[in-house]
Structure 1
Amino acid sequence: MNFLLDFFQEFMSLGATVLLPIIIAVLGIIFKMNAGKAIKSGLLVGFGFQGLVLVVNLLIQSINPVMEHYKAIGSGYDVLEIGFAPLGAASWTVPFAVFVIPAIFLLNVILVRFKITKVLNIDIWNFMHFLVPGALAYALFGNAIIGFSVSLICGIGVLFFSEWLAPAWQDFFGLDGTTCTTLSFAAWVYPMTYMMNKIIDKIPGVNKLDVNVSKLGNKLGIFGDTTIIGVLVGLFLSIISRQSFSNTLMVSMGVGASMVLIPRMVSVMMEGLSPLGQSANIYMQDKLGKDSEIYIGMDIALGLGDPACITVTAIMIPVTILLAFIIPGMRFFPLGILGEVCYLAPMCVLTSKGNLFRSLVTMTIMMAITLFFMNMFIGEATSMLAVTGVSVSGEVTASHFGWNPGNLIVSIINAIFMK
């Protein structure tokens, strides 16, 4: 058992940039692609994802002076907010972790084969989103079978949400043949913000407000260009956080560069993914009939290519800090989640159809809900970490306890029936 666990931990530690080329190439060969083209597709997707990770890190690094400015305000809180990396590492120490990946993937293939779903989830490095709720259930209920079942339900349940959002995802972001299978955003943020936009549609006056990056470009000329918008957003962040002249230049250039480079990296990924998607659909139609098609499940990061995502991400940094002071009884200061704000943006922008006003409204509401639940379920988060191999001092929380639907459901069930 330890051998298998060590193998899977080592396998997953390779990261998406190594796993993606292997997975894409193998799937390409399975779907009857020429071996050379399958390998090339895998490499392009891996290179594109590596570039995407680098540029996202550039964005986070560029706005780090802004985060540091607000960090000084956040003293006096008694709970530590950790990022997703230590939380994911902790989830791998539970007894059933080694069985989660093969079980979910095998069931996914069976469901696709019998036309129960059109989604084939290859976003294996994000299976953490399924494993964390399972680890939480194991910690709270003391039963490995329950924990495994929760992970399995999350891994299969997301496929149906991903299939629902696939047409909108492909149409808005231009990511043909793909969908998003990152649980927190496909099965929680998308439905929530979809509903919020339906409510906004019913509010007279507000439903007419439309601030769109492409429309700004037509009205403002060079100042509406996405390149300039990125620099201006960086300048705005620097001014409100009272940055030095040199930091202002660094922040402005970093945000501007991110807005230009992220779409380029996504396009490299799509250059590799498109042939796979075409081959997969031809293969499925040949095996299951002409009406069969398949969506390749991918990371939420693919949605970061829209300029509106970077714009609202930058604006949401100070808004998130402000929310921490507004929400009653907050026991932690949001630090780790500031580096994860960008991943909240794509679904908010998608359901708002690129409308910056709506995107900011929905994103602000979602962030407030996230922080509220993270604060509410500090006890559950601490209990989960306590049964894993990750050593923590005092109480902790993390973003997954605010926006992972599996964690929310498990935590609410525990609060109602077990306390």
Structure 2
Amino acid sequence: MDALLNVVQYFVDLGAAVMLPLVIFFIALLLGTPVSKALKSGISIGIGFIGIGLVIGLMLNNLAPAAQAMSENFGISLSVIDIGWPGSSPMTWASRIALVAIPLAIAVNVLMLALKLTRVVNIDIWNIWHFAFTGAIVDIATGSYTLAMAAVAVHAAFAYKLGDWFAPTVDRYFGLEGIAMPHGTTGWFAPIAVFMDWLIDKIPVLRDIDVNPSHLQKRFGTLCDPAIMGAIMGIAIGLLAGYDVKGVLTLAIQMSAVIVLMPVVVKYIMGGLLPISEVAKQKLQQKFGNADFYIGLDCALLLGDPVVVTASLLFIPITILIAALVPGNIILPFGDLPTIGFFIAMAVGVHGGNLFRTLLTGSVVMALTIWISNQTIGLHTQLAANAGQLTAATAQMASLDQGGSPLTYIATQALTLTNVSGLLFVGGFYLLCVLFTIVWSHKQYKEWHAEKGDISSQEVQA
């Protein structure tokens, strides 16, 4: 058993840029793909993930200092630094929950497929760490390994259902046919976007505002070209940070590069994944009839959308402002700032590319995330201590990604009842959003099948 766990740990330690290409390569071979094509797909995916890492690194290395400078300029003093998912994922993989979480999440997926409770075939093995994080936090909060495993299973099952519910959005808006996003960040905030879209539709004036970069570009021409918009946002952030002329202009070019390069590197991932997903879909349809199946992949595929990238950059200053306004907050957004696109990507699709609505939804999402992150500081710090990653005895750890997850918070509070009012508020609000999503998803499937000329399809998920 220990030998098997060591092999799994070695595999996990390879990181997403190596781990996922290997997974895709072997899956492609199992599906009967020629070795040369399987190898090309795997390498293409690896190139894409390395590219995304470089672009996110560019953002992290330049936007994070600007964010701190903005905080200092506006007198925002917050004592706990958000370490982001790059800090949270290694300590999660080091927990006693993580390695068992992988086979458990896969088993849940297989069981749900067999019972026809999902059409998502998840191959995004790396991001099972999201499910493992929930289990690790529940383990620390309750001391029960059994409850921790149950939390992993519940999170995984819910993520697969999120993949089902939003498959039409992934296809209709993002143009990714046969793909789903059972992702532990993009997925669990998507229901909030559905509720917010309904709410905005009920408010006069607001419901008529449609700010879409593609529409703006048609109206205002070159000024709204993505590269120029990136430069403008870089200038704005540089000025808010109090940079000199050189610093402002440098940040402008760097942000312009981010907004242009992100779609380029995402194309490499798509180029590697889509052929394999199509083969997998065909094989599954041959085995199970004409049922629709969706291949579960990393939501990095969504980051190539211009509205997602634009909203991500805008949320750098917006998130810092929200952090200053959330009552009782002591967390300074930092590590997750460059990856806010993961938080709001599906909201862009739900809102049909409407940047205005995305900003409203994203503001609610970030406020909720920051509040929840504050409630989980103690548990997050213990997770870091267990992994040997505390730099000082008095240090505290927090992260927005996963540390601010409603699912993790609801699971932990339901089992410990340490903050009943918080559980009622977050749980009640999130349940409402999920119920709206189920109804909304039925409508989306009907419209989607009508567009495809398949009105009689029975594949509507609920």
Q: Which residue of 2 aligns with 1:413?
A: 414
Q: Is the 8 A contact 2:71 2:320 kept in 1?
A: no
Q: Which residue of 1 aligns with 2:365?
A: 366
Q: Is the 8 A contact 1:62 1:255 kept in 2?
A: no
TM-score, normalised with respect to structure 1: 0.92
CA–CA distance in structure 2, aligned partners of residues 399 and 5 of structure 1: 29
Does 71-80 or 118-127 show the bigger shift? 71-80
Question: Aligned to 2:109, what secondary structure does the other structure show?
Answer: helix
CA–CA distance in structure 2, aligned partners of residues 29 and 325 of structure 1: 51
CA–CA distance in structure 2, aligned partners of residues 92 and 333 of structure 1: 24
Q: Which residue of 2 aligns with 1:303?
A: 302
Q: Which residue of 2 aligns with 1:337?
A: 336
Shift of residue 36, structure 1, vs aligned partner: 2.1
Confirm or deny that 1:140 pairs with 2:141.
yes
Counterparts of 1:26-65 in structure 2, within 5 Å, are 26-65=26-65
CA–CA distance in structure 2, aligned partners of residues 401 and 28 of structure 1: 31
CA–CA distance in structure 2, aligned partners of residues 25 and 62 of structure 1: 35
- With over 3 angstroms needed to count, the CA separation of the structure-2 counterparts of 1:212 and 1:418, relative to structure 1, is closer
- With over 3 angstroms needed to count, the CA separation of the structure-2 counterparts of 1:297 and 1:81, relative to structure 1, is same
Show CA shifts across 1:144-191 (max 9, x none).
1111221122122211111110110122112222121212321x2100
Q: Which residue of 1 aligns with 2:456?
A: none
Question: Aligned to 1:343, what secondary structure does the other structure show?
Answer: helix
- With over 3 angstroms needed to count, the CA separation of the structure-2 counterparts of 1:87 and 1:227, relative to structure 1, is closer
Confirm or deny that 1:280 pairs with 2:280.
yes
Confirm or deny that 1:159 pairs with 2:163.
no
Q: Which residue of 1 aligns with 2:428?
A: none
Shift of residue 357, structure 1, vs aligned partner: 0.8
Q: Which residue of 1 aligns with 2:130?
A: 129
Confirm or deny that 1:236 pairs with 2:241.
no
Shift of residue 275, structure 1, vs aligned partner: 1.2
Confirm or deny that 1:353 pairs with 2:352.
yes
Question: Aligned to 2:185, what secondary structure does the other structure show?
Answer: helix
Q: Which residue of 1 aligns with 2:213?
A: 213
Paired residue type of 1:211: V
Q: Is the 8 A contact 1:136 1:410 kept in 2?
A: no
Counterparts of 1:56-205 in structure 2, within 5 Å, are 56-72=56-72, 77-113=78-114, 115-186=116-187, 188-205=188-205
CA–CA distance in structure 2, aligned partners of residues 377 and 96 of structure 1: 18
CA–CA distance in structure 1, aligned partners of residues 5 and 406 of structure 2: 26
Shift of residue 198, structure 1, vs aligned partner: 0.9
TM-score, normalised with respect to structure 2: 0.84
Question: Aligned to 2:332, what secondary structure does the other structure show?
Answer: coil
- With over 3 angstroms needed to count, the CA separation of the structure-2 counterparts of 1:183 and 1:64, relative to structure 1, is closer
Paired residue type of 1:173: F
Confirm or deny that 1:256 pairs with 2:256.
yes
Shift of residue 86, structure 1, vs aligned partner: 3.3
Q: Structure 2 unaligned segments of length 5 or more: list them.
A: 421-462
Q: Which residue of 2 aligns with 1:327?
A: 326
CA–CA distance in structure 1, aligned partners of residues 4 and 275 of structure 2: 33
CA–CA distance in structure 2, aligned partners of residues 301 and 213 of structure 1: 20
Show CA shifts across 1:282-336 (max 9, x none).
11121111x2232121112211111112212122111111112211222232222
Paired residue type of 1:242: G
Q: Is the 8 A contact 1:173 1:305 kept in 2?
A: no
Percentage identity across aligned positions?
31
CA–CA distance in structure 2, aligned partners of residues 80 and 57 of structure 1: 18
Paired residue type of 1:346: A
Show CA shifts across 1:59-90 (max 9, x none).
33342442231354677544443322332222
Q: Which residue of 1 aligns with 2:17?
A: 17
Question: Aligned to 2:313, what secondary structure does the other structure show?
Answer: helix
CA–CA distance in structure 2, aligned partners of residues 76 and 226 of structure 1: 33
Q: Is the 8 A contact 2:119 2:293 kept in 1?
A: yes
CA-based RMSD of the aligned residues comes to 2.2
Shift of residue 214, structure 1, vs aligned partner: 0.4
Q: Which residue of 1 aligns with 2:313?
A: 314
Question: Aligned to 2:417, what secondary structure does the other structure show?
Answer: helix
CA–CA distance in structure 2, aligned partners of residues 329 and 418 of structure 1: 15
CA–CA distance in structure 1, aligned partners of residues 316 and 325 of structure 2: 15
CA–CA distance in structure 2, aligned partners of residues 400 and 252 of structure 1: 27
CA–CA distance in structure 2, aligned partners of residues 320 and 262 of structure 1: 21
Question: Aligned to 1:63, what secondary structure does the other structure show?
Answer: helix
Q: Is the 8 A contact 2:96 2:136 kept in 1?
A: no
Paired residue type of 1:33: T
Paired residue type of 2:347: C
Q: Is the 8 A contact 2:369 2:405 kept in 1?
A: no
Paired residue type of 2:297: M
Paired residue type of 1:135: A
- With over 3 angstroms needed to count, the CA separation of the structure-2 counterparts of 1:127 and 1:203, relative to structure 1, is same
Does 109-118 or 255-264 show the bigger shift? 109-118
Paired residue type of 1:179: A
Q: Which residue of 1 aligns with 2:458?
A: none
Does 142-151 or 395-404 show the bigger shift? 395-404
Does 141-150 or 33-42 show the bigger shift? 33-42
Q: Is the 8 A contact 1:79 1:332 kept in 2?
A: yes
Shift of residue 385, structure 1, vs aligned partner: 3.7
Question: Aligned to 1:120, what secondary structure does the other structure show?
Answer: strand
CA–CA distance in structure 1, aligned partners of residues 324 and 117 of structure 2: 46
CA–CA distance in structure 2, aligned partners of residues 257 and 279 of structure 1: 34
Q: Is the 8 A contact 2:8 2:99 kept in 1?
A: yes
CA–CA distance in structure 1, aligned partners of residues 248 and 144 of structure 2: 52
Shift of residue 386, structure 1, vs aligned partner: 4.4
Q: Is the 8 A contact 1:140 1:384 kept in 2?
A: no
Shift of residue 110, structure 1, vs aligned partner: 4.4
Question: Aligned to 1:364, what secondary structure does the other structure show?
Answer: helix
Q: Which residue of 2 aligns with 1:293?
A: 292
